[in-house]
Amino acid sequence: MQYDPRHLPSVPVTQAELVHQHDSILGESPLWEEREQVLYWVDIDRGKIHRFDPATRENTTHTLPTKVTSIARRAKGGLIASLKKNFAFFDPVTGQVEMLDVVEDDQPENRFNDGKVDRQGRFWAGTMNEVHIGKPDAGLYRFEGPGRVEKMVSEVTISNGTGWSPCGRIMYYTDTLRHTVFAYDFEEKTGSISNRREFYSVDPSAEGLPDGLTVDAEGFVWSALVNYGRMLRFDPAGKLERMVTFPPTRGTCCTFGGANYDELYITTARECLTPEQIAAQPLAGSVFRCEPGVKGLPETPFAG
């Protein structure tokens, strides 16, 4: 189903509130870590992994010597990450980074972008061309451990939000400059994908782009609509059902967290905003939260 963000249907709206003011360039990859009851998130271009504790409102930061493009939980403790070109393990206690496999070594214009763990514990991360933005020479990779990398989708523009239905048999995948969130049949045992179809798309004549996503406990899909300051919730048939708004126009991604997984955390960005737009949106780059009335699911940790 295609939507024009200038003329969205009338659906229930929740306003998110500011929980952590920050000037991140590209806030991304919000991740609820239930073992610590904190929100991890990244600032891609500055190579920062942030840890926000909602109980104290304290935000602590690690700076890595490379871009950090996505993070996910790891069963053995700590995080798995996609950096600029590498998969990596990261230990937030020691700050130690363990560099793992490289992708697209022969494509110097490309870097990793969003990544997520499937319900069986495999890490999926995709790439983008950051010089020729939108050039369809990026891909989506499945990582099961050192030396176990497989390219699963080719000819991607900007690889972005990925998620799985609660049953695990549907994978949602965002190709941002195709303006589309796709759905695939997902084979849980092998992690293979098939039968790609359009789930939701944005009218290309509008400025809105689909970015990060998460799937809630009811199997509805939350997709960030960049440039419009909205998280859109779709039913499994791709019909817009409700939305969350917040002041910055560049909302990048969202995830559920809190002790009951009933809070939606949202990251935002300053990237691509003019100085005048930043002056008008002083909260761009901050983290927002709301209670939208539905619950999310814990993220499965990376099994390797």
Return the active site residues.
211
Cβ(270)–Cβ(283) under 8 Å? no
CB of 226 to Ca ion, least distance (A): 8
Residue 33 sits in the site that holds Ca ion (CB under 5 A):
no
152, 127, 146, 125: which is closest to 137 by C-alpha? Answer: 127
12, amino acid identity: P
Q: In angstroms, what is the minimal distance from the CB of 55 to Ca ion?
A: 27
As measured in angstroms, the least distance from the Cβ of 224 to Ca ion is 7
Strand (E) positions, 240-294?
240-245, 251-257, 263-268, 287-290
- Please report whether residue 160 would count as binding Ca ion according to CB under 5 A: yes
| Closest separation in Å from C-beta 223 to Ca ion | 11
Which residue type is seen at 259?
Answer: A
Cβ distance to Ca ion smaller for residue 212 or 257:
212
What whole-number distance in Å separates Cα of residue 250 and Cα of residue 231?
10
d(CA 265, CA 288): 6
Q: Which listed range, 98-106, 128-136, 157-165, 193-201, lies at the site for Ca ion (CB under 5 A)?
A: 157-165
Between 33 and 211, name the residue whose CB sits nearer to Ca ion: 211
Q: Is 212 in the site for Ca ion (CB under 5 A)?
A: yes
Neighbours of 13 (CB within 10 A): 12
Q: How far is C-alpha 180 from the chain's CA centre?
A: 15
Report the Cα 146 to chain-centroid distance in Å: 23
- Residue number with CB closer to Ca ion (44 or 304): 44
The one-letter amino acid at 167: C
Q: Does 211 bind Ca ion (CB under 5 A)?
A: yes
229 binds Ca ion (CB under 5 A): no
- Minimum distance from CB of 160 to Ca ion (Å)? 5
Strands 138-145 and 79-82, bridge-based pairing: unpaired
Looking at the Cβ atoms of 27 and 304, the one nearer to Ca ion is 27
Residue 115 beta carbon to Ca ion: minimum distance, rounded to whole angstroms: 10
Contact status, residue 3 vs residue 11, Cβ threshold 8 Å: no
**27 interacts with Ca ion by CB under 5 A:** no
Binding segment (CB under 5 A) for Ca ion, from list 115-123, 184-192, 211-219, 231-239: 211-219
- CB closer to Ca ion, 110 vs 304: 110
Range list of H helices, 118-221? none
Q: Which is nearer to Ca ion, 129 or 160 (CB)?
A: 160
Q: Please give the residues from 93 up to 132 whose contact with Ca ion meets the rule CB under 5 A.
A: 114
Q: Give the separation between CA 29 and CA 253, rounded to whole angstroms.
A: 6
Q: How many residues of this chain interact with Ca ion, rule: CB under 5 A?
A: 4
Give the torsion through C-alpha atoms of 254, 258, 262, 268, to 10 deg.
-20
> Binding to Ca ion by residue 163, rule CB under 5 A?
no
Instruction: Kindly state the smallest distance separating residue 24's Cβ from Ca ion, in Å.
Output: 13
Nearer to Ca ion, 70 or 281 (CB): 70
Helices then strands (H, E): number in the chain?
A: 1, 26
Say if CB 23 and CB 267 are below 8 A apart.
no
Interface with Ca ion by CB under 5 A: which residues?
114, 160, 211-212
